[in-house]
A = this chain, B = another copy of it.
């Protein structure tokens, strides 16, 4: 699966009104249990029966209780019937008691919806180190009435947010075997967003018929090119998780890499996850701009991704973009310490429409043109290292006064 292939023809259709309940077989909802002061804080995605599922998790060695629980669920057969998500506290660093809390939520949800507990995944996001407020969450579970409506899907999208400024939803359809397969996703991000399973929650539903193993391999691969390519602040959370569930109700022939329409499915699935990743990057804490870095000519695709991510992760590049300053010196500096073999004399750097460096030598550019470009809400930086054929992208956001304001007083 070459990354470059994805720049070519689009095989899916965007469904602007779609949501995670557009794929057949999924219901959802989200409510306010007063764990958070005002916003919704408890949600569920629910299927009538267990369906093949897959997940990827934070690589932080400190992992929250819900991560441990959901890993166990996926390892026991790879099927999930529902996922329960709460926001407000992360149930991380809460010791054995926190793990018991997570299992208590799982049991209660199984009880309310008449499911087997070991088919119920959980996820949490919010403050580290606080016990869950079970006195609010357990009664809350009894109030959940998931439906297939767009409104309830949006309620779920709201219920998983923390400092996000808005919900993040995407939905596409793609023809497989002449059937319509729908893939939809919802995510939250904002802070503690970096590398490996980039500090976020994502839930992707599809009515495609696809088995657990294939789904897991596909999600892991796609994660490397999407969620693992975004950064907000370089911090990798204890609670990151992306979970995908496949109801099979589109009734296509089971999808594997040998399926004639595999490539179409893969592109559509990648697109959903890439869109969610970009929405997370763009809505980073305090951000005013999305930064997209495209690297060509690296020794390998992996190296290209590493360089791209080093650039979007540089505080100096991020503040320069915030200040609409075409400071290419900070970009080449970040390239130099990305830990990837380069030739210091063959680097091209473009910022939007302007070439600023060619073969590592400064190129005169129109200061006015570039400063107008830097007012946009998406800024593209293009690099060519001229070392090999490696290609990769990464996304991040600018670093602003508001990032400092938000994070100087999050806990108190």
- Chain A interfacial positions (CB closer than 8 Å to B): 59-63, 90, 92-95, 127-129, 191-192, 194-196, 233-238, 313-316, 319-320, 322-323, 325-330, 332-337, 342, 344, 357, 360-362, 399-401, 403-405, 407-412
Contacts and interface: CB of A to CB of B under 8 A. Distances in A.
Given A93-B332, A329-B93, A412-B323, A315 B128 contact: no
A401 B408 CA distance: 10
Contacts of A90: 329
A333 B408 contact: no
A310 to B, nearest CB: 10
A113 to B, nearest CB: 32
A61 B344 contact: yes
Contacts of A235: 314-316, 330, 333-334, 337
A65 to B, nearest CB: 11
A360 B399 CA distance: 32
- Which of A128, A337, A344, A357 has the most chain B CB atoms inside 10 A of its CB? A337
B325 A410 contact: yes
A233 B316 contact: yes
Given A92-B329, A94-B362, A129-B362, 4 more contacts: A60-B336, A195-B337, A319-B407, A329-B411
A407 B128 contact: no
Contact of A328 (B129, B194, B357, B407): B129
A344 B404 contact: no
24 contacts: A61-B335, A61-B344, A90-B329, A93-B329, A93-B332, A94-B362, A129-B329, A191-B316, A194-B337, A233-B315, A233-B316, A234-B314, A235-B314, A235-B315, A235-B330, A236-B336, A319-B404, A319-B408, A323-B407, A323-B409, A325-B412, A326-B411, A329-B411, A401-B404
A366 to B, nearest CB: 14
Q: Which 4 A-B pairs have the closest CB atoms?
A: A128-B329, A323-B408, A62-B336, A319-B407
A342 B191 CA distance: 24
A332 B235 CA distance: 11
A59 B323 contact: no
Nearest to A329: B128
Contacts of A128: 329-330, 332-333
A315 B95 contact: no
B344 A62 contact: yes
A395 to B, nearest CB: 17
B336 A61 contact: yes
A195 to B, nearest CB: 8
A196 B316 CA distance: 17
A373 to B, nearest CB: 14
Contacts of A192: 316, 330, 333
A152 B312 CA distance: 42
A316 B60 CA distance: 15
Contacts of A129: 328-329, 357, 362
A93 B360 contact: yes
Contacts of A92: 329, 333
Contact of A325 (B194, B332, B336, B408): B408
Nearest to A60: B336
A95 B360 contact: yes
B337 A59 contact: yes
A336 B362 CA distance: 41
